[in-house]
Amino acid sequence: MEETELFLLLFSAISVAILMWRAMKRERKFQKVPPGRMGWPFVGETLAYLKPHPSTSMGEFMEQHISRYGKIFVSNLFGEPTIVSADLGLNKFILQNEGKLFESSYPKSIEGILGKWSMLVLVGDMHRNMRILSLNFMSNTKLRVHLLHEIEKHTLLVLGAWREKQVFSAKEEAKKFTFNLMAENIVSMKPGKPETESLKREYITFMKGVISAPINLPGTSYRRALQSRKTILGVLEMKMEEKKMRTNGREPEIEEEEDFLGWVMKQSDLSSEQILDLILSLLFAGHETSTVAITMAMYFLDGCPRAIEQLQEEHMGIAREKREKGESSGLNWEDYKRMEFTHSVINETLRLGNVVQFVHRKALCNVQFKGYDIPRGWKVLPVFAAVHLDPLNHHKPHHFNPWRWQDSNNSSNFMPFGGGPRLCAGADLAKLEMAIFIHHLVLNFTWEVTEPDIPTAFPFIDFPKGLPITVHRLSSNTTSTILERETTATGS
Ligand code: HEM
Ligand SMILES: *[C@@H]1O[C@H](CO)[C@@H](O)[C@H](O)[C@H]1NC(C)=O
Ligand SMILES: *[C@@H]1O[C@H](CO)[C@@H](O)[C@H](O)[C@H]1NC(C)=O
Ligand SMILES: *[C@@H]1O[C@H](CO)[C@@H](O)[C@H](O)[C@H]1NC(C)=O
Ligand SMILES: *[C@@H]1O[C@H](CO)[C@@H](O)[C@H](O)[C@H]1NC(C)=O
Ligand SMILES: *[C@@H]1O[C@H](CO)[C@@H](O)[C@H](O)[C@H]1NC(C)=O
């Protein structure tokens, strides 16, 4: 771009921003918008809002604003006037009224990378269609009869390669597990094959773009991610072509377990472009978040030996009973349902870890809530993390305490998967993944974190060092000691 062009562009952007800012100030006079401040024109308070902080805290920005203005306040974020909500009631109200009073509204940069047909950015009927397709892939029946075994298979594949006293990144291992699972079930790509490995690497570059500033200039993360998007689409397109050739081909092949791509191609009337965006974003949504969630579980458990002991007891009990019944076919749905304490650990991990800190919405009309006006067109950010870490909702919120879930009937103040018509389509799958992974993990290994590393909100969550751990294989001697402990505990 010419220098003068760049200057003109910058100049007009700033003028527009100042005009918008003035308009916003004027508008506020006539309405009772929540308290807060707009900060600088255009950038507003975005930089302060995005400042990295431990994901187990709500961050300085939220803490300061909440103490100054209350749980609902106004700010200027991502270049738009924004209502930020740390209020449980408002968060629920926003999510439940999707498509009526509010609507998903992600920054343009996300659309550039995930694609205009990705579920995160779609609204209305098209969103509903795609959602129904995705829910079908992860339906309860599919989970019970097919995905559970797939999850166990991929868990064993990863854990089976661990060696005594080996030091490695827990996050990398978790990613192998979740990515292999998704790649095999969505596009039939087998673990360990070069094409699978290179796709996994491509997604790392891709991820960096999703979260970076949307500056499309040579050398930026955003530019590289756009390139990655093309590469990934290329791979997926090839998979699609292969399938078309096979179905048009001479003889129908032996019935094999159909992957999601094949099913969507048959069942829906989506265009190729739409299918590609759907598959690309499902692969993405399906491994980034659950990788972090599993890594977090290992991180929190490392600091809570009592919880590990109780997990070992629970899972050894399940394993022993299966042995006694002569079942050798791997875990089934009944076993999963028996993992009660494990479910408490999963909930507590998601509450304290805050894998998704907040979501992006905008108001479709002027909305009133608790005496405040939310003007039409304004951005609205329900911040789940702030609710999860609020002492009024959760006693001693900064403590990892899985036992808090045992006799509580108020899990309604907990929404790690969002809610309403856009509730995470993979919520049940993610919980199943975590539970099965934990089952084999605590049965066979102990681990310790070898270098301090904390889950950090950038605002996407990452372990900067990948959480380095050392593992120790439990000998059958240790196993029998634990079994004995469990037998005496339940026997007395
Ligand atoms: C612990 C892991 C996970 C967490 C914390 C999580 C969280 C979320 C959240 C908060 C949303 C809502 C976004 C919004 O409202 O704007 C969402 C949406 C979604 N998630 Fe997950 N997710 C997880 C795992 C998964 C997995 C394993 C899949 C499987 C493919 C998945 C697929 C999706 C899809 C397709 C959507 C879009 C739903 C829609 O718009 O209707 N997620 N997730
Ligand atoms: C875990 O230990 C059990 C026996 O205690 C064994 O059958 C299983 O293969 C082990 N799994 C892994 C991943 O090492
Ligand atoms: C975990 O949270 C969910 C709500 O997301 C709740 O339905 C479930 O009962 C909780 N599990 C436990 C063990 O408390
Ligand atoms: C349930 O609510 C009470 C009080 O509001 C809180 O002390 C407790 O920690 C909550 N339990 C859970 C699991 O959120
Ligand atoms: C559930 O919680 C409500 C208020 O939060 C309380 O009145 C009720 O007794 C609780 N029920 C049980 C079974 O704990
Ligand atoms: C297991 O325990 C027995 C006796 O308690 C001991 O003789 C044996 O060496 C132990 N084996 C291992 C592998 O530690």
Statement: residue 408 has pLDDT above 80 = no
Statement: residue 257 has pLDDT above 70 = no
Distance 346 CA to ligand 6 centre (A): 34
Strand partners, 389: none
424 is in an annotated binding site: yes
Provide the token pair at 244: 């078309």
Distance 405 CA to ligand 5 centre (A): 13
What confidence category does residue 492 fall into, taking pLDDT thresholds of 50, 70 and 90?
Answer: very low
Q: Which residue ranges have their beta carbon within 6 Å of ligand 4?
A: 393-395, 404-405, 408, 410, 413
The DSSP bridge pattern shows strands 80-85 and 379-382 to be parallel
Residue nearest to atom 14 of ligand 6 (CA): 477
Q: Which H/E stretch holds residue 448?
A: strand 445-449
Q: What is the mean pLDDT of residues 468-478?
A: 85
Distance 119 CA to ligand 1 centre (A): 10
Alpha helices in 376-457 (DSSP H): 384-388, 427-444
Query: What is the number of the ligand closest to the CA of 164?
Result: 2
So what's the pLDDT on residue 320? Answer: 92
Instruction: For ligand 6, pick from 477, 482, 483 the residue to mutate: most ligand atoms within 8 Å of CB.
Output: 477
So what's the pLDDT on residue 47? Answer: 87
So what's the pLDDT on residue 441? Answer: 97
**Three-state SS at 4:** helix
Q: What is the mean pLDDT of residues 66-73?
A: 97
Q: What is the mean pLDDT of residues 352-356?
A: 97
Distance 348 CA to ligand 4 centre (A): 12
So what's the pLDDT on residue 249? Answer: 63
- Delineate the domains of the chain, giving CATH numbers in brackets: 1-116+355-388 (3.30.43.20), 124-299+426-492 (1.10.630.10)
Distance 481 CA to ligand 6 centre (A): 11
So what's the pLDDT on residue 348? Answer: 98
What confidence category does residue 488 fall into, taking pLDDT thresholds of 50, 70 and 90?
Answer: low
Q: DSSP for 82-115?
A: EEEE--HHHHHHHHHTBTTTEEE---HHHHHHH-
So what's the pLDDT on residue 66? Answer: 97
Query: What is the number of the ligand closest to the CA of 410?
Result: 4
Instruction: For ligand 5, pick from 88, 404, 407, 409 the residue to mutate: most ligand atoms within 8 Å of CB.
Output: 409
Provide the token pair at 72: 């609902």
Instruction: For ligand 1, pick from 117, 130, 289, 438 the residue to mutate: most ligand atoms within 8 Å of CB.
Output: 289
Burial profile 474-483: b = 16 or more Cβ within 10 angstroms, e = fewer: beeeebeebb
Is the distance from the beta carbon of residue 477 to the nearest atom of ligand 6 less than 6 Å? yes
Is the distance from the beta carbon of residue 475 to the nearest atom of ligand 6 less than 6 Å? yes
Query: What is the number of the ligand closest to the CA of 477?
Result: 6
Distance 404 CA to ligand 4 centre (A): 7
Residue nearest to atom 41 of ligand 1 (CA): 422
Q: Ligand 5, closest atom to CA 408?
A: 14
Average pLDDT in the chain: 90
Each residue's pLDDT tens digit, 141-188: 888 889 999 999 999 999 999 999 989 999 999 999 999 999 999 999
Q: Ligand 2, closest atom to CA 479?
A: 5
Share of the chain above pLDDT 90, in %: 70
Query: What is the number of the ligand closest to the CA of 474?
Result: 2
In order of 198, 247, 277, the CA distances from 242 in angstroms are 19, 9, 18
Distance 408 CA to ligand 4 centre (A): 7
Distance 356 CA to ligand 5 centre (A): 28
Using CA of residue 478, residue 483, residue 484, residue 489, what is the dihedral sign? positive
